[in-house]
């Protein structure tokens, strides 16, 4: 009864409005990538090319294709064009008749082609108006400007006036490339009689004995009144789970049927169990035939965000299937400035990295996009929870009623689109606007506005969008989900680390923006840490992709064009001086910069985990990049793991030994995310960096389940005796009663710059084609193995080896290719001191 035909990606052409030549285009795509493919611009990511391409945002663009519509499609009662994403101000013409106007990149659109289509060839033309010019009349008419952060890199900041990905206008890790285009697929849909447009399997209740009460909500369009049979199937079974005779009315019908499933397997986040999924399919049969193309996947779990008052404030944690979960994860940004070219493999790589690093949550940050289906499908399958922001970040938004209506539709659509995914744990209104309002916006001088009323209007608009419009969309369509108005969000827009009554989630940027020492991660902890981070440069292999050897200096024009934080280079250098010796060679600077970032973030994650259960979540800023750049990412644009990524894999391990020195006391903690209490012994060895054992011993150890336990405290002065802190390392090993190594940890008593590192004297031997053994005679810090142009070739990297220690490392090389020592490059910190 319905036929869907995707529009061919290659039959398109495009041109700049006002010019005559049409060029081939790819759909889905963007203007920039089409210009690039035709050799009309150079790679926007290369050197400073971005600067010369700012004219593109000022132009209007047209796309066209010939749509061949078969007579049998035309014979249907309805013929529609589904547009999953148009960026942003588009007018669609079929055979020169206007069939649709759009004004929101985040919404999908449907055009009725029936009155305009003919059998055979039809011309579909899409006009994209410049997103920056389009809003100017309304911007000018307002009489005052809305406060927008400097992430919007233009003088006249118009990012907030359009419903378009905010990072397109620039960010402190991204270029300004304000693109346009058909960014998600288009398809033709022809149908008669009935069409199923949505299926939501709502979980009404999930009992302790794993019986789930469901309400399947099927949305059906019908062209006439009549009776029909609705059937719901689960997991490919031939017998329907429910079957109902229903009366369809002409137009929109929502058919809700209740049923239950017994002994379901629950969906568990990573680390708690397996993420079981069920497939549901709805079918509607009428006299005209059976419509059965709607299937969705669903997992059953309960997720609560628990906020309980206690003596020292208010908690904020996730309870999944009744069990408290310590959240480990990262913030995620769009993977490219040109979204349609991100491949499924790239999605898998980022999310698999998260899983490999023991994460259980990813935050989809509000300056990007509501992600593609593949993202959430993978999160569902991998057991990754999603903290989902609505797409608003770091700015106030204009007080326009039509914009608010547009936002409400956007919210309804995206909540509807994503509500079946068990991975979505929470909807959050925006990124940092509550905090922004408090810190910056209110400090504006009254002169910035015509009158206090303007300022109040913006405040009311904030309240309306984030406390009324968005939560009511969540409530209307997915009331089981928790809504959180803004991240970070403490008490009354205040984030006060020294508050007597801490509550909510926090973005702690005292490290980096405030130049506070990494050690302060131990002091600035709130119940849920949803952002903190530190920058590094990508490694040289990545820099080579956008810079020439003559650019190899962090202050060169090209390197600065790929460093968008106003304080970036200075801050990296400042911290490097504090913790490491600053090397002269560019390549070494990049390496040490990565170690610096890795050390800072390790200290942060360990501090947050030690603070469990007061702190119950930690999401670092940021896992990925949208172009090759110096940024806070732990993995660069090409998917290369930075040193931080390896450090995160260690720091997020389910069982973690960690230490923290305060004055003369070294506290040793065992953090245990498992549900079993751990018992065993803690072995310690104090060594010189050349391997002489100065002290050794073992102590009984017991670590609580799902918690952080201080298993021992050592007095540093008596431990070290006459040994120099700069010349010693304490090796800690947690061993279970059955002899299994639970975790190891090396504690140093001096910062890397002060360590008196002897030459590591590494020996690398080839074990077999894909395995090497690395052995250190003396302490080797941050062993970095490089393979020419390789991406994540080695099973571990940037690791320490104690004197005499050896490690086997496996290598991922394509096909039969074997390792050769002369191609392998090994770097350690001692060589740069
Ligand atoms: C946080 C984020 C981003 C920003 C990052 C680094 O505030 O929400 O807006 O890129 O810090 O400054």
- Phi, psi for 156 (deg, rounded to 5): -90, 110
- pLDDT of 6 strictly over 90: no
- Phi, psi for 824 (deg, rounded to 5): -85, 130
**Tokens encoding 48:** 């400073």
Query: What is the overall mean pLDDT for the chain?
Result: 95
> Computed from CA positions of residues 661, 665, 670, 671, in that sequence, does the dihedral angle turn out positive or negative?
negative
- pLDDT of 497 strictly over 70: no
How many percent of the chain have pLDDT more than 70? 97
CB atoms within 10 A of CB 320: 22
CA 430 – ligand 1 centroid, Å? 12
Q: DSSP labels for 473-503?
A: HHHHH-TTSEEES-BSB-BTTB--TT-SS--
Q: Whose CA is nearest to atom 3 of ligand 1?
A: 172
Where residue 446 falls among pLDDT bands split at 50, 70, 90? low
pTM comes to 0.97
Tokens 């994650």 appear where? 605
CA 166 – ligand 1 centroid, Å? 12
Residue 781 DSSP one-character state: E
- pLDDT of 445 strictly over 60: no
Instruction: Summarize pLDDT for 82-97 with one digit per residue, the tens.
Output: 999 999 999 999 999 9
DSSP H or E stretch at residue 83: strand 78-83
Question: Does ligand 1 lie within 6 Å of residue 621's CB atom?
Answer: yes
Residue 622: cis peptide before it, omega within 30 degrees of 0: yes
- pLDDT of 498 strictly over 70: no
CA 822 – ligand 1 centroid, Å? 42
Q: DSSP labels for 729-757?
A: EEEEEEEETTS-EEEEEEEESS-GGG--P
CA 652 – ligand 1 centroid, Å? 22
pLDDT at 315: 93
Question: CA–CA distance from 431 to each of 149, 237, 496 (Å)?
Answer: 12, 43, 18
Where residue 310 falls among pLDDT bands split at 50, 70, 90? confident
pLDDT at 500: 56
CB burial string 461-491: b at 16+ within 10 A, e below: bbebbbeebbbebbeebbeebebbbbbbbbe
Picking from 215, 179, 235, 169, the residue whose alpha carbon sits closest to that of residue 41 is 179
Hey, which residues does 252 pair with through a beta bridge?
221
Q: Whose CA is nearest to atom 12 of ligand 1?
A: 172
Instruction: Summarize pLDDT for 698-749 with one digit per residue, the tens.
Output: 999 999 999 999 999 999 999 999 999 999 999 999 999 999 999 999 999 9
Atom of ligand 1 nearest to the CA of 513: 12
Choose the weakest-confidence range: 72-81, 536-545, 723-732, 813-822. Answer: 813-822
pLDDT at 318: 98
Summarize the confidence of residues 449-476 as an average pLDDT.
Answer: 90
Where residue 531 falls among pLDDT bands split at 50, 70, 90? very high
Question: Does ligand 1 lie within 6 Å of residue 631's CB atom?
Answer: no
Q: DSSP labels for 84-122?
A: S-EESEEEEEETTEEEEEEEBTTS-EEEE-TTT--SEEE
| 3-state SS class at 198 | strand
CA 532 – ligand 1 centroid, Å? 9
| 3-state SS class at 598 | helix
Question: Does ligand 1 lie within 6 Å of residue 431's CB atom?
Answer: yes
How do 317-320 and 303-306 pair as beta strands?
antiparallel
The region, left, alpha or beta by phi > 0 then psi within -120 to 50, assigned to residue 82 is beta
CA 632 – ligand 1 centroid, Å? 9
pLDDT at 452: 76
Atom of ligand 1 nearest to the CA of 531: 1
- pLDDT of 444 strictly over 80: no
- pLDDT of 450 strictly over 80: no
pLDDT at 499: 54
- pLDDT of 454 strictly over 90: no
CA 486 – ligand 1 centroid, Å? 14
Instruction: Give the list of residues 6+ apart from residue 137 with CB closer than 8 angstroms, or none.
Output: none
CA 7 – ligand 1 centroid, Å? 38
CA 216 – ligand 1 centroid, Å? 39
Question: Does ligand 1 lie within 6 Å of residue 625's CB atom?
Answer: no
Atom of ligand 1 nearest to the CA of 149: 9
Residue in 331, 368, 394 to alter for ligand 1 test, most ligand atoms within 8 A of Cβ: 394
CA 117 – ligand 1 centroid, Å? 47
Where residue 490 falls among pLDDT bands split at 50, 70, 90? confident
**Tokens encoding 402:** 């039509």
Question: CA–CA distance from 589 to each of 383, 562, 565, 794 (Å)?
Answer: 37, 16, 18, 22
Summarize the confidence of residues 200-210 as an average pLDDT.
Answer: 98
Summarize the confidence of residues 296-304 as an average pLDDT.
Answer: 98
Atom of ligand 1 nearest to the CA of 172: 10
pLDDT at 449: 66
Question: Does ligand 1 lie within 6 Å of residue 331's CB atom?
Answer: no
What's the per-residue H, E or C state across 219-249?
Answer: EEEECCCEEEEEEEEECCCCCCCEEEEEEEC
> Computed from CA positions of residues 431, 435, 439, 440, in that sequence, does the dihedral angle turn out positive or negative?
positive
Question: Does ligand 1 lie within 6 Å of residue 586's CB atom?
Answer: no
Instruction: Summarize pLDDT for 103-112 with one digit per residue, the tens.
Output: 999 999 999 9
Distance CA 133, CA 185 (A): 26
Atom of ligand 1 nearest to the CA of 533: 6
Summarize the confidence of residues 38-47 as an average pLDDT.
Answer: 98
Instruction: Give the list of residues 6+ apart from residue 342 with CB closer than 8 angstroms, or none.
Output: 334, 335, 336
pLDDT at 492: 52
Question: Does ligand 1 lie within 6 Å of residue 173's CB atom?
Answer: yes
Where residue 1 falls among pLDDT bands split at 50, 70, 90? low
CA 153 – ligand 1 centroid, Å? 14
CA 566 – ligand 1 centroid, Å? 12
CA 520 – ligand 1 centroid, Å? 19
Atom of ligand 1 nearest to the CA of 632: 6
Rg (CA), the chain: 29
CA 141 – ligand 1 centroid, Å? 31
Question: Does ligand 1 lie within 6 Å of residue 432's CB atom?
Answer: yes
Residue in 622, 629, 631, 633 to alter for ligand 1 test, most ligand atoms within 8 A of Cβ: 622
CA 332 – ligand 1 centroid, Å? 11
| 3-state SS class at 156 | coil
Q: Whose CA is nearest to atom 10 of ligand 1?
A: 172
pLDDT at 540: 97
Q: Whose CA is nearest to atom 6 of ligand 1?
A: 172
Question: Does ligand 1 lie within 6 Å of residue 487's CB atom?
Answer: no
Residue in 390, 531, 571 to alter for ligand 1 test, most ligand atoms within 8 A of Cβ: 531
CA 533 – ligand 1 centroid, Å? 9
Question: Does ligand 1 lie within 6 Å of residue 394's CB atom?
Answer: yes
pLDDT at 7: 78
Question: Does ligand 1 lie within 6 Å of residue 172's CB atom?
Answer: yes
pLDDT at 202: 98
CA 344 – ligand 1 centroid, Å? 26
Instruction: Summarize pLDDT for 600-640 with one digit per residue, the tens.
Output: 999 999 999 999 999 999 999 999 999 999 999 999 999 99
Instruction: Summarize pLDDT for 664-680 with one digit per residue, the tens.
Output: 999 999 999 999 999 99
CA 610 – ligand 1 centroid, Å? 25
Residue 829 has, within 13 A of its CA and on its CB side, a CA count of 27
pLDDT at 743: 98
Question: Does ligand 1 lie within 6 Å of residue 531's CB atom?
Answer: yes
Instruction: Summarize pLDDT for 115-165 with one digit per residue, the tens.
Output: 999 999 999 999 999 999 999 999 999 888 888 999 999 999 999 999 999
Q: Whose CA is nearest to atom 7 of ligand 1?
A: 432
Q: Whose CA is nearest to atom 9 of ligand 1?
A: 394
The region, left, alpha or beta by phi > 0 then psi within -120 to 50, assigned to residue 35 is alpha
Instruction: Give the list of residues 6+ apart from residue 90 with CB closer than 8 angstroms, or none.
Output: 100, 101, 102, 126, 127, 128, 129
- pLDDT of 17 strictly over 90: yes
pLDDT at 139: 94
Atom of ligand 1 nearest to the CA of 431: 8
Picking from 436, 601, 612, 437, the residue whose alpha carbon sits closest to that of residue 521 is 601
Hey, which residues does 426 pair with through a beta bridge?
387, 482
Cβ pair 624, 633 in contact under 8 A: yes
Instruction: Summarize pLDDT for 739-787 with one digit per residue, the tens.
Output: 999 999 999 999 999 999 999 999 999 999 999 999 999 999 999 999 9
Summarize the confidence of residues 45-66 as an average pLDDT.
Answer: 98
Picking from 128, 132, 140, the residue whose alpha carbon sits closest to that of residue 30 is 128
DSSP alpha helix (H) spans, 38-187: 71-74, 131-134, 136-142
CA 752 – ligand 1 centroid, Å? 28
pLDDT at 453: 82
Q: Whose CA is nearest to atom 4 of ligand 1?
A: 172
Distance CA 812, CA 383 (A): 25
Regarding predicted confidence, which is higher, 496 or 45? Answer: 45
Hey, which residues does 90 pair with through a beta bridge?
102, 128
Q: Whose CA is nearest to atom 8 of ligand 1?
A: 431
Choose the weakest-confidence range: 291-300, 337-346, 788-797. Answer: 291-300
């Amino acid at each position: 009864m319905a036929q869907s035909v995707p529009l061919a990606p290659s039959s398109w052409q495009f041109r700049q409005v006002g010019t005559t030549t049409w060029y081939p285009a790819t759909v889905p795509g963007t203007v920039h990538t089409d210009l690039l493919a035709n050799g009309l611009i150079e790679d926007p990511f290369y050197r400073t090319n971005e600067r010369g391409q700012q004219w593109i945002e000022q132009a209007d663009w047209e796309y066209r294709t010939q749509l061949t519509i078969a007579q049998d499609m035309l014979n249907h009662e309805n013929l529609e064009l589904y547009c999953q994403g148009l960026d942003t101000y588009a007018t669609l013409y079929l055979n020169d008749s206007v069939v649709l106007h759009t004004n929101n990149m985040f919404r999908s659109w449907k055009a009725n082609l029936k009155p305009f289509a003919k059998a055979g060839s039809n011309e579909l033309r899409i006009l994209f108006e410049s997103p920056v010019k389009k809003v100017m009349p309304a911007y000018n008419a307002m009489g005052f400007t809305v406060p927008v952060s400097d992430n919007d890199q233009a003088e006249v900041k118009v990012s907030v006036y359009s419903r378009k990905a905010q990072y397109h206008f620039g960010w402190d890790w991204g270029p300004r490339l304000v693109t346009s285009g058909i960014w998600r697929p288009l398809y033709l849909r022809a149908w008669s009689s009935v069409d199923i447009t949505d299926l939501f399997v709502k979980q009404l209740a999930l009992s302790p004995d794993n019986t789930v009460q469901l309400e399947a909500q099927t949305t059906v369009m019908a062209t006439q009144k009549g009776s029909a049979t609705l059937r719901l199937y689960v997991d490919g079974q031939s017998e329907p789970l429910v079957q109902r005779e229903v009366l369809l009315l002409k137009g929109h019908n929502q058919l809700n049927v209740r049923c239950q499933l017994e002994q379901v397997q629950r969906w568990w986040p990573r680390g708690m169990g397996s993420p079981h999924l069920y497939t549901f399919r709805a079918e509607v049969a009428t006299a005209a035939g059976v419509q059965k193309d709607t299937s969705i996947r669903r997992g059953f779990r309960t997720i609560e965000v628990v906020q309980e008052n206690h003596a020292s404030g208010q908690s904020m944690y996730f309870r999944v299937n009744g069990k408290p979960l310590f959240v480990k994860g990262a913030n995620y940004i769009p993977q490219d400035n040109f979204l349609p070219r991100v491949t499924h493999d790239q999605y898998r790589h980022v999310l698999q990295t998260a899983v490999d690093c023991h994460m259980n949550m990813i935050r989809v940050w509000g300056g990007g996009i509501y992600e593609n289906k593949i993202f959430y499908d993978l999160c569902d399958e991998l057991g990754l929870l999603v903290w989902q922001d609505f797409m608003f970040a770091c700015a106030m938004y204009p007080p326009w009623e039509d914009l608010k209506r547009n936002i409400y539709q956007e919210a309804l659509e995206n909540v509807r689109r994503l509500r079946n995914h068990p991975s979505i744990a929470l909807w959050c209104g925006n990124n940092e606007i509550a905090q922004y309002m408090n810190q910056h916006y209110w400090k504006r001088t009254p002169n910035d506005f015509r009158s206090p009323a303007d300022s109040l209007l913006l405040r009311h608009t904030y309240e309306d969008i984030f406390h009324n419009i968005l939560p009511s969309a969540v409530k209307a369509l997915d009331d089981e989900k928790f809504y959180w108005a803004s991240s970070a969000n403490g008490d009354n827009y205040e984030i006060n680390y020294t508050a007597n009554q801490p509550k909510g989630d926090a973005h702690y940027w005292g490290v980096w923006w405030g130049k506070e020492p990494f050690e302060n991660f131990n002091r600035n902890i709130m119940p849920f840490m949803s952002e903190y981070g530190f920058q590094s440069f990508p490694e040289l292999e990545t820099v080579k992709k956008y810079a020439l050897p003559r650019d190899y200096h962090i202050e060169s024009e090209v390197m600065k064009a790929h460093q968008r934080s106003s304080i970036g280079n200075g801050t990296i250098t400042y911290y490097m001086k504090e913790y490491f010796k600053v090397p002269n060679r560019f390549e070494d600077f990049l390496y040490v910069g990565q170690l610096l970032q890795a050390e800072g973030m390790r200290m942060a994650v360990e501090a947050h985990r030690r603070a469990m259960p007061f702190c119950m979540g930690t999401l670092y800023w940021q896992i990925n990049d949208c172009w090759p750049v110096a940024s806070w990412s732990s993995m660069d644009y090409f998917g290369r793991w930075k040193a931080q990524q390896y450090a995160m894999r260690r720091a997020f391990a389910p069982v973690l030994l960690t230490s923290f020195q305060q004055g003369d006391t070294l506290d040793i903690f065992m953090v245990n995310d498992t549900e079993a209490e751990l018992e065993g012994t803690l072995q310690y060895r104090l060594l010189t960096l050349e391997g002489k054992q100065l002290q050794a011993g073992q102590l009984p150890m017991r670590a609580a389940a799902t918690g952080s336990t201080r298993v021992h405290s050592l007095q540093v002065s008596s431990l070290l005796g006459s040994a120099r802190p700069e010349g010693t390392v304490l090796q800690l090993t947690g061993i279970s009663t059955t002899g299994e190594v639970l975790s190891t940890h090396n504690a140093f008593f001096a910062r890397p710059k002060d360590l008196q590192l002897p030459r590591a004297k590494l020996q690398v031997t080839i074990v077999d084609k894909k395995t090497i053994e690395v052995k250190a005679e003396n302490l080797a810090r941050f062993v970095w193995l490089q393979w020419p142009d390789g991406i994540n070739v080695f099973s571990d990297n940037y690791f320490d080896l104690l004197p005499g220690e050896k490690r086997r490392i496996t290598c991922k090389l394509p096909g039969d290719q074997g390792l050769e020592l002369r191609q392998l490059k090994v770097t350690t910190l001692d060589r740069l001191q």
